[in-house]
Each structure stands twice: as structure tokens, then as C-alpha cells.
Amino acid sequence: MIMVNENDASGVTTEGEFRRTLKVLLSPLLDSGIDSIAVGLTILPPGGRSDFIGHPEGEMFYVLSGQGVMRVGENTRPITEGTAIWVGPHEVHQTINTGGGVLKLLWVLSPPGRESLILEQAHANAAERGSPK
């Protein structure tokens, strides 16, 4: 069994146009017992948004709390707590918080890979601060 609490997860908070917090909960880069997925969180403040990007991995999202819209290519659909979304490999997508509270999503990458960017930035930020994460 591998278990991680989100409060202990490595992550980064971005500012500016694409402000959000990204955390990696499970990844082959963090535990050799994992090989086929990466799991994490995206936390968007009111008005926050992710960048509009595609990547080689397919990605599943599950809305834990809040409301917003998911844009995939030319399609935009509302999302609320309890919504599950699959975005295929290379599909350009973006999540936008349209609500008054935090929009929190669980994401799963399959295969894993892109989470390495979050982990690299988290470790670089921790090194600058002199802390272990």
C-alpha cells in the first residue's frame, strides 16, 4: 500500500494569468511501487485558470469541490463537484474557476510523465528556501 496526504505532497503555486496550486500525490518518480499512473491535485482560486495545453498523456479529472468550466478544443462545458472528465492524449484543454470559491480537482495521468515538471519546480523552490520539499 502507498498512502499520501495532500498536506505532505510536493507542489507548486503559480501566479499571474494561470494562478493555481498543483500537487503531486502519487508518481513513479516518488515511489518505485507505482508504474502506470500519476495522481495529483489542481487547486484554482476564484478566477484562476490553467493554461490551454495538450500533452502526450491522457488525463482524467474529478471535481472534488467548486465549480467552473472545462474547455477541450472548441468545446466548453460546465463542471461541478462530482464531475469526471477524460481528456485524451494531445487534446488541448483548460480548466477555469467560474465560482466564488476554490475549485479543486483530482487528476490522473496515464501514462505518467508530465508530473515531473511539477516535481522539478517544487524541488527547485524548496532548494531556494532551504527546505526538504
Q: What is the mean pLDDT of each run of 10 residues along the chain (133 residues)?
A: 94 90 96 94 96 94 98 97 97 97 97 91 83 58
Domain ranges of the chain: 6-129
CATH of 6-129, one of 3.30.460.10, 1.10.260.40, 2.60.120.10, 3.40.50.920: 2.60.120.10
What's the gap between Cα 97 and its chain centre?
13
Is there a contact between 110 and 37 (Cβ–Cβ < 8 Å)?
Answer: yes
State the pLDDT at residue 44: 97
State the pLDDT at residue 35: 92
Task: State if pTM tops 0.85.
Answer: yes
Q: Burial of 10 by CB count in 10 Å (0-12 exposed, 13-18 middle, 19+ buried)? A: buried
Among residues 70, 56, 72, 75, the alpha carbon closest in space to that of 105 is found at 70
Is there a contact between 114 and 89 (Cβ–Cβ < 8 Å)?
Answer: no
State the pLDDT at residue 131: 63
Within the chain, what is the greatest distance between any pair of CA atoms? 43
C-alpha grid cell for residue 11?
Answer: 507542489
Is there a contact between 9 and 24 (Cβ–Cβ < 8 Å)?
Answer: yes
Q: Burial of 33 by CB count in 10 Å (0-12 exposed, 13-18 middle, 19+ buried)? A: exposed
